Amino acid sequence: MNEEALWIRNKVKAHNKWFEECIPMIASENLMSPLAKEMLISDFADRYAEGLPGKRYYQGNIYVDEVELKAMEMAKDLFECSFADVRPISGTVANMAVLFAFAEPGDTITTCALAQGAHISTAKFGAFGLRSVESVNYPFNESDMNLDVDGTIKLLKEVKPKVAQFGLSVFLFPPPMKELQDTFDEIGCTVWYDAAHVLGLIAGGQFHDPFREGVHVMSSSTHKTFPGPNHGMLLGHNLDEEQEKAIYRAVFPGVTSSHHLHAMAALAMTLAEQKVFARDYAAQTVKNSRALGEALYERGVDVLCPDLGFTRSHALAVDVSKFGGGKTVAQDLEDANIICNKNMLPRDTSAVKPSGIRLGVQELTRVGMKESEMVHVAELISRVCNKESPSKVREDVKELKRNFTKIRFCFSEGEEAYRFHELV
């Protein structure tokens, strides 16, 4: 090993060790199970596949094809839908494929606004811009962090979008899809739902059931509440043959060449595990986020939507302007080994200096924390907000985390979640 190789290895080891001692609360992350992680270091990582199983452009895909077909079947079963494509290599790539399949340059798509929590790929400077589609934003009620139903119906009827897109990165409550269903039918638009943040909740019967509420196509990453690899997935229900073909073509050759076969296998493994564990995991995740919201609020931290129980997902939006704003608080929390991100809240105009932070509990739930630990976590966060020295709080964070290093809700339950910190 040369000096550079040793240096890189040591940095990665240091990161692994650090996270073992952290409370990770980024709402878009999670821990894979040991079985899923094993797939990432398999020979699949070194191979190539293009196209669909059985119709590849390379030889050597006998087992790859079998695993991919199994993953597609398991995805359809878990989400009770008629179509799955497990090849997108990320949520954004899945979104690009939907745009490629269902919209032409110049078409109009309705979406939420970035300041209200929409994903960056809906922006002019994101995937929407790359496809040159126009976007029009739904009216939003700040008080309940959700779409204004009457205003959205009015907007949809006026704009008549080719595609109506839903889904957020600050995703606290289910969007009112049922209430919009008649309008979708009236204008005949394709209904697209970006489920990245809430995929695991949907798999576990929490949040809501988009395919039973008028959604045609669901795009997603697979590593947030759904605790799989950094990868993506597309699901569809009641699509016609042309629409299914359009998605397949959009994924390859549209937005991928090979599709990261090791990650696809890790996704397959996660689907197998979620079949068994999704319900309990999703239910505990939502219990935890609501308990954390309550405990923070009781400590004078302004969690949004107290009258609605704060959230029905894994995430909380917190206004920390009275403690110095999102940038300062997120940095102070990192100094205390509590990892989250600054986040815009609806009235913010600056993404760099927003008034909020976003907190997610899916990873803490994955290592076995329950409601009583959420009270403990709230206390640690509120101490940092109230300007106690982060290095002092850090010692208590490490102490709490010491009892929660083992992974739950998977076949290898009880193995070390952060077990690669020593690296072989």
Cα(314)–Cα(337) distance, integer angstroms? 20
Give 34 or 360: the residue with its C-beta nearer to ligand DSN.
Answer: 360
How distant, in Å, are the alpha carbons of 119, 154, 165, 179, 402 from that of 160? Answer: 22, 10, 12, 17, 54
Give 119 or 408: the residue with its C-beta nearer to ligand DSN.
Answer: 119
- CB of 169: closest distance to ligand DSN in angstroms? 4
Asked whether the beta carbons of 89 and 260 are under 8 A apart, the reply is yes
Give 166 or 277: the residue with its C-beta nearer to ligand DSN.
Answer: 166
Give 168 or 180: the residue with its C-beta nearer to ligand DSN.
Answer: 168
Under the phi-then-psi rule, with left for phi > 0, alpha for psi from -120 to 50, and beta for the rest, what region is 315? beta
Give 341 or 382: the residue with its C-beta nearer to ligand DSN.
Answer: 341
Give 119 or 394: the residue with its C-beta nearer to ligand DSN.
Answer: 119
Cis peptide bond N-terminal to 253, omega within 30: yes
- In this structure, which amino acid lies at residue 30? N
Torsion of CA 13, 16, 18, 22, to 10 degrees: 180
Give 156 or 357: the residue with its C-beta nearer to ligand DSN.
Answer: 357
Question: Terminal CA-to-CA distance of the chain, rounded, Å?
Answer: 14
Cα(260)–Cα(258) distance, integer angstroms? 6
Give 119 or 342: the residue with its C-beta nearer to ligand DSN.
Answer: 119
Q: What angle do CA 164, 169, 173 make, to 5 degrees?
A: 75
- CB of 398: closest distance to ligand DSN in angstroms? 25
- CB of 415: closest distance to ligand DSN in angstroms? 27
- CB of 163: closest distance to ligand DSN in angstroms? 20
- CB of 56: closest distance to ligand DSN in angstroms? 29
Cα(364)–Cα(406) distance, integer angstroms? 11
- CB of 420: closest distance to ligand DSN in angstroms? 23
Binding region for ligand DSN (CB under 6 A)? 28, 91, 119, 169
Catalogue the long-range contacts made by 210-216 (C-beta closer than 8 Å, 24 or more residues apart).
Answer: 210/177, 211/79, 211/80, 211/81, 211/235, 211/237, 213/177, 213/178, 213/181, 214/177, 214/178, 214/180, 214/181, 214/184, 214/185, 215/166, 215/177, 215/191, 216/190, 216/191, 216/192, 216/243
- CB of 122: closest distance to ligand DSN in angstroms? 11
Helix (H) or strand (E) holding 219: strand 217-221
Q: What angle do CA 173, 175, 176 make, to 5 degrees?
A: 125
- CB of 51: closest distance to ligand DSN in angstroms? 27
Give 28 or 183: the residue with its C-beta nearer to ligand DSN.
Answer: 28
Number of residue whose CB is nearest ligand DSN: 28
Bridge-based pairing of strands 315-319 and 302-303 is antiparallel
Bridge-based pairing of strands 217-221 and 190-194 is parallel
- CB of 91: closest distance to ligand DSN in angstroms? 6
